Amino acid sequence: MWIAPAAASARRVSSRNRCRSCLETHRLLCWRMTRGNRSLILLILVILAGIIVPFLIWGAWFDSVLSLEGARKWMESYGSWAWAAGIALLVSDIVLPVPSTVVMSALGWMYGWWVGGLICAAGSMLSGIIAYAACRWLGRGAALYLAGEDGLRRGEEIFEKSGGWLVALSRWMPVLPEAVACLAGLSRMRRRVFFPALACGSVPTGFAFAAIGHLGQSEPGWAIALSGLVPVALWLAAARILKQRPNLPLPPTPTLPPPKQEEE
């Protein structure tokens, strides 16, 4: 079919404009995604720096003082409150370079694998809860200031999709437990997901390293393996249960009637 030259030219111009518009939209979306990822990575680096810098400054001193024997002697100095001193050490790992696995092994040495495991699990869970609650308490304003709108949105997406896995699998690793708990709080990860995931990671880790201390083993390889594998099985079961119990609907927010206008 014959088309007038003017009409054909108009169509070509329109097609070029559409292509240019699509290209600009694609570039804008990529730029926003990159900016969000960059802000999130910067936030992660800031949190990791706050955890790693104390290790670099005081880590050697803490390692020398809180050896297996040193940690046990320090906790025993508190008498019947030695278990509370152990929990305090595990909680202080949020801001201080405390060798938490050594403290757990010392608790297992003192109390046995069962009671020591319960104490270790309680200390690890309390540490995660405090880090999560403190960062969540800072509020969305602080999170926006640290990560920006795009970075915070990206963090919320990650913890909405994979937050349970991140929390559960990070508890047996060095440095990461505190960083992940802080990021979960800033991203306002759902509590009904965070707490079960925290338990799935903290309980196996606590019992594994308490057993190391109780048995007097010097090679913690099997404990590390159990600490990494058992949370996988536990979180798979917990995630299935959570999916079967969806969030309950919130009650409607009451609204006040508008004020009556006085008749003139």
For residue 130, give the amino acid letter: I
- Give the model confidence (pLDDT) of 191-202 as tens digits: 999 999 999 999
Q: Which residues of the chain are modeled with pLDDT < 70?
A: 1-40, 42-44, 46-52, 54-64, 140, 142-143, 145-148, 151, 217-224, 227, 245-264
pLDDT at residue number 196: 94
The rounded distance, in Å, linking the Cα atoms of 96 and 52 is 9
Residue 86 near residue 75 (C-beta atoms within 8 A):
yes
Residue 155 near residue 40 (C-beta atoms within 8 A):
yes
pLDDT at residue number 195: 96
The rounded distance, in Å, linking the Cα atoms of 19 and 256 is 51
For residue 99, give the amino acid letter: P
- Give the model confidence (pLDDT) of 211-227 as tens digits: 988 887 655 666 667 76
